[in-house]
């Protein structure tokens, strides 16, 4: 079983400048302010701009507050969600490690980049907005601004800013043997399966067998990495697909529910309302779409 479905398929920048930036703040996206559990080949710098984030990166769990910067390594499962009752605004810069170094003979690649990718050099997870960390945060803000404005020679300054941040992280890094990746691979396999089969019935037993774990161990591990139970995650994937259909088509709510794996209209409406704070019909109306109901009023 591959893990490509869980892998984010968005292209970050292009081959000539493999870096891009994102900012989540008001007005908020349809899926609120959560960073869903995913991975990509690029490294990522994640800055909390307002609120507190509960962050999962690899096997680590931590909190990051406003003004703090979090590092996610290439290929690493990561997720973030707002602290209890809080609003979470954040910015992210996603970049290929290749932007930081030259060919195989480059000392930056051999001494720093490759060891980080191989799990032999562990960079600090969180950079605090004080002392030398302040310089890294200022460099992050400059990179964000450059990627948005794109002034003359911005490509050189973006690379310089990323190198400044990476150097600050690397000098605080710790060298050790690579960590075991098997648990994360099991979670990747499960989420890959969920994303590929969400229209069908999915049981916890089925997911546990795919990952060669007991049901209890699988559920504990899955929640550790995703902040959700398997049922909650399946429902979230189905809801995301349902929201797209509600906005992009005039299909009846009942048909949308059945086509995205919900075998009961009432259950679909209940899950939708719990997550989004409104019914599917209200959601569609707020987005300026016409009402198209099934046999029940949603």
Give the pLDDT confidence of 19-78 residue by residue, as tens digits: 999 998 765 544 456 788 888 899 999 999 999 999 998 778 899 999 999 999 998 899
* 147 and 188 part of one domain: no
Q: What is the largest CA-CA distance in the chain?
A: 67
Do 162 and 196 belong to one domain? Answer: no
* Structural domain boundaries enclosing 276: 182-286
Look at the chain and report how many structural domains it folds into. Answer: 2
Same domain as 191, residue 162? no
Residue 177 has pLDDT above 80, yes or no: no
291 in any annotated domain: no
Task: Give the CATH number of the domain where residue 229 resides.
Answer: 1.10.10.60
Q: Give the per-residue pLDDT at 294.
A: 46
Same domain, 156 and 221: no
Percent of the chain with pLDDT over 70: 87
pLDDT band per the 50, 70, 90 thresholds, residue 129: confident
Same domain, 150 and 191: no
* Residue 60 belongs to some domain of the structure: yes
Structure confidence at residue 298 as a pLDDT band (50, 70, 90)? very low
- Give the CA distances from residue 11 to residues 99, 172, 226, 264, in Å, rounded to whole numbers and listed in that order: 15, 30, 23, 36
| Residue 7 covered by a domain | no
Question: Both 108 and 213 in a single domain?
Answer: no
The pLDDT score that the predictor gives to residue 78 is: 92
Question: Looking at 119, 146, 175, which one is the last position of a domain?
Answer: 175
C-alpha 287/C-alpha 281 separation (Å) is: 10
Mean pLDDT across 267-272: 95
Q: Given CA atoms 37, 133, 106, 103 in this order, what sign does their dihedral have?
A: positive
Q: Which of 175, 197, 214 is the last residue of a domain?
A: 175
Cα–Cα distance, 90 to 237 (Å, whole number):
22
Are 36 and 124 in the same domain? Answer: yes
pLDDT at 293: 45
The reply to whether 269 and 124 lie within a common domain is no
Is the same domain home to 88 and 147?
yes
Q: Which residues pair with 57 in a beta bridge?
A: 60, 78
Q: Residue 295: what pLDDT?
A: 40
């Amino acid at each position: 079983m591959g893990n490509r479905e869980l892998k984010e398929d968005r292209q970050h920048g292009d081959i000539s400048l493999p870096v891009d930036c994102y900012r989540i703040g008001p007005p908020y996206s349809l899926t609120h302010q959560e960073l869903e559990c995913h991975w990509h080949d690029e490294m990522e710098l994640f800055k909390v701009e307002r609120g507190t984030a509960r962050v999962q990166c690899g096997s680590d769990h931590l909190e990051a507050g406003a003004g703090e910067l979090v590092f996610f390594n290439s290929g690493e499962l990561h997720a973030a969600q707002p602290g209890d009752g809080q609003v979470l605004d954040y910015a992210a810069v996603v970049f290929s490690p290749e932007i930081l170094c030259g060919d195989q003979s480059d000392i930056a690649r051999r001494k720093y980049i490759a060891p980080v990718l191989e799990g032999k050099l562990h960079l600090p997870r969180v950079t605090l907005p004080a002392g030398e960390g302040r310089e890294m945060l200022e460099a992050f803000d400059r990179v964000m601004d450059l990627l948005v404005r794109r002034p003359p020679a911005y490509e050189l300054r973006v690379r310089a800013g990323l190198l400044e941040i990476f150097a600050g992280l690397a000098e605080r890094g710790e060298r050790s043997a690579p960590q075991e990746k098997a648990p994360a691979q099991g979670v990747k396999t499960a989420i890959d399966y969920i994303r590929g089969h969400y229209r069908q019935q999915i049981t916890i037993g089925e997911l546990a067998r795919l990952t060669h774990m007991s049901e209890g161990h699988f559920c504990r591990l899955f929640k550790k990495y995703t902040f959700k139970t398997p049922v909650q995650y399946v429902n979230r994937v189905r809801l995301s697909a349902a929201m797209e259909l509600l906005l992009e088509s005039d299909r009846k709510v009942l048909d949308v529910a059945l086509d995205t794996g919900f075998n009961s209209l009432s259950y679909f409406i209940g899950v939708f309302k719990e997550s989004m704070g409104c019914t599917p019909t209200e959601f569609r109306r707020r987005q300026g779409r016409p009402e198209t109901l099934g046999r029940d009023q949603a």
